[in-house]
Amino acid sequence: MAKRSRRRTRRSTGAAVVVAVAAAASLAVVVAVAVPLAGAISEGAPDEPRPIAVPGLPVDPAIESADDGHADDAWVERVSADTGIPARALRAYAAADLALSDEQPECGIVWNTLAGIGSVESRHGSYGGATLEADGWVTPRIVGPALDGDGFAEIGDTDGGEWDGDTEWDRAVGPMQFIPETWRRWGADGNGDERRDPNHIDDAALAAARYLCASGPMTEAESWRDAIFSYNPLTRYVDDVAETATEYARLAERE
């Protein structure tokens, strides 16, 4: 199949986000994912902030794509090697980026933002010894702590334990750590198998992209941060995603 380079024009605004230097977040810290205004996850003031470039604005980590709308194999191999993002996860983030560039071109979401979230949330589906398989499934499933109000948001069961196995409290599920009630609304079929499962990286990445874009265009510093904050309302979480995504963009840039 013929291949083409799909480059999208992004403004280089020189904008910066004021972020804190934070330690890498663990699943237990950032578990209240995709719940807008879910409340404090943990207590304590953030560190003194410093500026970090907004992912996707000063640089253009463009995706080279094939005619089937997916990322080109050579691009995936190169960027995976340069960034350390597992190739299978990178394919999912790139596919979601390309899908949203067609569905909602005004949003401006980029693959490295999704990769930043995937890294912070589950280390790209590898948290706790899990493995991201070649078919996109994460095994064993990644399930967060009970959202019982003890250090986390308090969210009673909304899915009868269908996704998280807990009939008393909700728990975040999958490589992008969706809470069941949020998945019910935003769940997506990213791999075309007519199923929507938060444990599949393609489904989870596409759902995350659509969820973020619902906040509005992500092409300015403030709106980008607002979108990430809606995913997990914790300032240091936004900081971690910003720092990680920006580094991925830097590493992916061709010399």
Regions of the chain with pLDDT less than 50: 1-48, 58-60
CA angle (72 as vertex; 118, 174 as ends), nearest 5: 20
Give residue 153's pLDDT: 87
Burial of 208 (0-12, 13-18, 19+ CB in 10 A): buried
Neighbours of 230 (CB within 10 A): 19
Evaluated on CA atoms 125, 40, 22, 55, the torsion sign reads positive
- In whole angstroms, give the CA distance from residue 137 to residue 145: 21
Give residue 253's pLDDT: 83
Instruction: Please state the pTM of the whole predicted model.
Output: 0.81
Give residue 5's pLDDT: 40
- In whole angstroms, give the CA distance from residue 41 to residue 153: 6
Contact status, residue 118 vs residue 33, Cβ threshold 8 Å: no
Give residue 58's pLDDT: 43
Residue with tokens 């605004």: 13
Give residue 151's pLDDT: 85
Give residue 236's pLDDT: 92
Parallel, antiparallel or unpaired: strands 63-66 and 49-53 = unpaired
Give residue 87's pLDDT: 98
- In this prediction, what percent of the chain has a pLDDT beyond 70? 73
Question: What residue ranges do the domains of the chain occupy?
Answer: 51-252
Give residue 70's pLDDT: 81
